[in-house]
Amino acid sequence: MKIAYITAGAAGMYCGSCMRDNTLVNALNQLGHEALLIPTYTPIRTDEEDVSDQHIFFGGINVYLQQKYPLFRYTPWFLDALLNLRPLLRWVSRFAGGTRAEDLGALTQSMLEGEQGYQKKEVTKLVHWLTDNLKPDLVNLTNALLCGFVRTFKQHSPAPVLISLQGDDIFTESLPEPYKSRCLALIRERTQEIDGFLATSHFYADFMAEYFAVPRQKIQVVLPGLNLRGHGGPAPAREREPFTIGYFARICPEKGFHHLVEAFIALRQLPNTAGVRLKASGWLGEHHQAFFQSQVKKLEAAGLAHDFEHVDCPDHVSKVRFMQSLDVLSVPTVYREPKGLYVLEALANGVPVVQPAHGSFPELIERTGGGLLAEANNIDDLAKKIHTLQQDPMLRRELGQRGKAVVHDYFTAERMARETLAIYERFLTA
């Protein structure tokens, strides 16, 4: 089977969706299929081997210039190709956080308008390459925000088009009005042309069916899987190490880093918590430096700065080492997380988790048995649940080992790929 898997680069960030897409495509290829991971906007960034194609469509510089300046809607393709060079896109991505919300809303609307938008030339390029060169049996988009080109594509190809739903509402809800309402209406219109959908949790399938006005039966669920290489090996002995709470995700408000900082401060007021430490790692962008520093100041004001450590965003080996240095992981997201790969990564190394009782987390905790749930957005309850694990080493060990066994048995890249292929085959044999 030849599969075009079209993903969205995350402006130079390590992104859970990019990592999942990269892992899935790699696993599809290992099963003997021809799957191509095609980046849009910017190159993807992953801490594993990057298997994405060198082509980049809807390059971030080109789509922005075509949005702002009519001249660039008519420039020759060879000039556009110069603006799609990977080093240039990576450099420009550093400044993406400074894009005005109003500009982003207008650009998103135009992209969803597809052949009627300012990026019509980019639609033509992608459709031409897919239909004349790649000729896939099936196309899988990584999110619904990429669906603007599908109408034109279907005029030239019989290949079914599927969309993986893994965070689309989070971006859409961040847009200012009137763009949020316009973009949601466009997505609901354009997704009527989509053959099927895949979601990363049952929660998200149910939620997105209503949010995008899609029949629930059109959405299939494939839970995430990991490339377990390196995970779960012998951990360094930590008997004399202080109890360590870990955070591993983008360091930003929506991932709830501030909630964990506040819970850590509250935890240290509880009995027998002297010496408990907090470690944080994950992508920290320039536009979130002020947020991060404000959290460090909270810790300083509480006299806990010496019990906090920030570890630079690591490669895969360093990520595993970071996980194995923890006693518990918590990423108390403000939004309802559709995936939660960091939960699986922690459990893959025998580290239990404490997560808010919303989004995909209840499913993951129930399926793995690897952690505790805290009331969402309740700092005191989060602190109490972490305190429970800190005070009960036997429970901590039991949850970690149970979760590790389930992740290594079920939450694998191969299982994720096989379940995805089974869904693909239904559309190819219909």
Mean predicted lDDT score pLDDT of the chain: 93
Alpha helices for 231-282 (secondary structure H): 257-267
- The more confidently predicted of residues 77 and 237 is 77
Is there a single domain that holds both residue 385 and residue 424? no
Evaluate if residue 34 carries a pLDDT over 80. yes
Tell me the C-alpha distance between 313 and 91, whole Å. 18
User: Residue 125 contacts by C-beta under 8 Å, 6 or more apart in sequence?
Assistant: 57, 77, 80
Least confident of 53-57, 161-165, 301-305, 380-384: 53-57
The predicted model gives 370-398 an average pLDDT of: 98
pLDDT digits (tens, 9 = 90+) for 115-143: 999 999 999 999 999 999 999 999 999 99
In which domain, by residue range, is 354 found? 244-409
| Tally of structural domains, the chain | 2
| Structural domain contains residue 234 | no
| For residues 217-226, average pLDDT | 97
Residues 148, 266 within the same domain: no
Can you give the pLDDT at residue 237?
65
237 inside domain: no
CA distance 38 to 55: 7
Q: Are residues 208 and 255 in the same domain?
A: no
Report the CATH number at residue 380. 3.40.50.2000
**Does some domain include residue 230?**
no
* Pair (147, 193) in one structural domain: yes
Encoding tokens for residue 206? 């149910």
Q: Are residues 34 and 10 in the same domain?
A: yes
Instruction: Say what the pLDDT of residue 96 is.
Output: 61
Q: What is the pLDDT of residue 95?
A: 63
Please report the DSSP string for 373-397 in residue order: EE-TT-HHHHHHHHHHHHH-HHHHH
340 and 355 Cβ atoms separated by less than 8 Å? yes
Is the confidence at residue 279, as pLDDT, over 60? yes
Same domain, 200 and 112: yes
Which residues are 37's β-sheet partners? 5, 52
Asked whether residue 140 falls in the same domain as residue 8, the answer is: yes
Strand pairing partners for 5? Answer: 37, 140
Give the lowest-confidence range in 171-185, 310-324, 384-398. 310-324
Whether the per-residue pLDDT at 67 is higher than 70: the answer is yes
Tell me the one-letter amino acid at 90.
R
Q: At what angle do helices 379-391 and 393-409 cross, to 10 degrees?
A: 100
Alpha helices in 215-360 (DSSP H): 257-267, 289-301, 316-324, 341-348
pLDDT number for residue 286: 84
Give me the pLDDT at residue 106, please.
Answer: 94
Rounded to whole angstroms, the Cα distance separating 212 from 191 reads 8
Q: Is 18 part of a structural domain of the chain?
A: yes
The answer to whether 275 touches 390, Cβ cutoff 8 Å, is no
Same-domain check for residues 375 and 251: yes
Residue 9 lies in a domain: yes
235 occurs within a structural domain: no
| Mean pLDDT, range 382-390, rounded to an integer | 98
Give the amino acid at 207.
F
Whether residue 97 has pLDDT greater than 70: no
385 and 405 fall within a common domain: yes
140 and 265, same domain (yes or no): no
Quote the tokens at residue 375: 């009331």
Q: Verify that 21 and 70 share a domain, yes or no.
A: yes
Residues 349 and 417 in one domain: no
**Side chain identity at 190, as an amino acid letter?**
R
Assigned domain for 64 exists: yes
Domain contains 419: yes
191-196: average pLDDT? 96
